[in-house]
Amino acid sequence: MDNRIAFEEIFEQNKRRIHYHIHKLNINDPHDEFFQEGLIAMWNAYETYQPDKGAMATYFNYTIRNRLIDRIRKEASHQNTQAKAIQEHLTQVTDGNRHSLRDKLNRRILPGQSFSLTDFTLWKTLKSELTERQWKWIYYHIIEGMSYKEIAITENTTVEAVKGWGKQVRMKLRDPKFREKL
């Protein structure tokens, strides 16, 4: 009980120290999360303080400042990880054979190449130039937006086979002679 009362007194005497470091590090703390972190740091410093090692105020300053910096780094790392995950998701949704469900009228098969779902002449010509399986890949994956797994289940085959169909279509579409036919 004596330690608790003593810490409460120490806290009252030193709580401005936490605010000082928050201000000095230019931290925006609307929900007092950093203040709580500083308070925990002060408590830990109080518990581990050794008088023969130096002044208590210096130890408090060192501990509080470093704990706040650690928290800033941790949050920056977390935000960086989230940003990378979001960017990776966006890349998967918008590049290559991936597509956004919101963009059904203009899906990319090749980077920089657009095909419109409403151009029936193009689709008819394309269908006549592809094998039955290649056309199934175009129809299911590009037009219907089905995943490889869904196509494999529908066609009673493996996911690898469906990927092969898509690879064949992409190879044909990269061929300049084939594209001239379209």
Are residues 152 and 169 both part of a single domain? yes
Tokens of 96: 């290559």
DSSP 3-24: HHHHHHHHHHHHHHHHHHHHHH
Asked whether the beta carbons of 11 and 23 are under 8 A apart, the reply is no
Are residues 88 and 8 both part of a single domain? yes
Are residues 102 and 170 both part of a single domain? yes
Are residues 112 and 157 both part of a single domain? yes
Q: How far apart are CA 43 and CA 49, in angstroms?
A: 10
Are residues 7 and 80 both part of a single domain? yes
Count helices and strands in the chain by DSSP H and E runs:
8, 2
The pLDDT tens digits of the residues spanning 59-112 come to: 999 999 999 999 999 988 888 888 888 777 667 666 555 444 444 444 444 444
As beta bridge partners, residue 45 has: none
- Structural domain boundaries, residue 15: 2-93
Asked whether the beta carbons of 77 and 84 are under 8 A apart, the reply is no
The pLDDT tens digits of the residues spanning 130-142 come to: 899 988 888 888 8
Are residues 79 and 112 both part of a single domain? no
Per the structure, the count of domains in the chain is 2
Amino acid type, 8: E
Paired sense of beta strands 114-116 and 106-108, if any: antiparallel
If residue 75 lies in a helix (H) or strand (E), which one and from where to where? helix 56-94
pLDDT at position 5 is 60
pLDDT at position 130 is 87
Phi, psi dihedrals of residue 142, rounded to the nearest 5°: -85, -50
The pLDDT tens digits of the residues spanning 22-40 come to: 999 998 888 888 999 999 9
pLDDT at position 122 is 76
Domain endpoint, select from 64, 93, 122: 93
Total-model pTM: 0.47
**Block residue for tokens 């009228």:** 105
Cα-to-chain-centroid distance, residue 8? 42
Which CATH number fits the domain that encloses residue 174?
A: 1.10.10
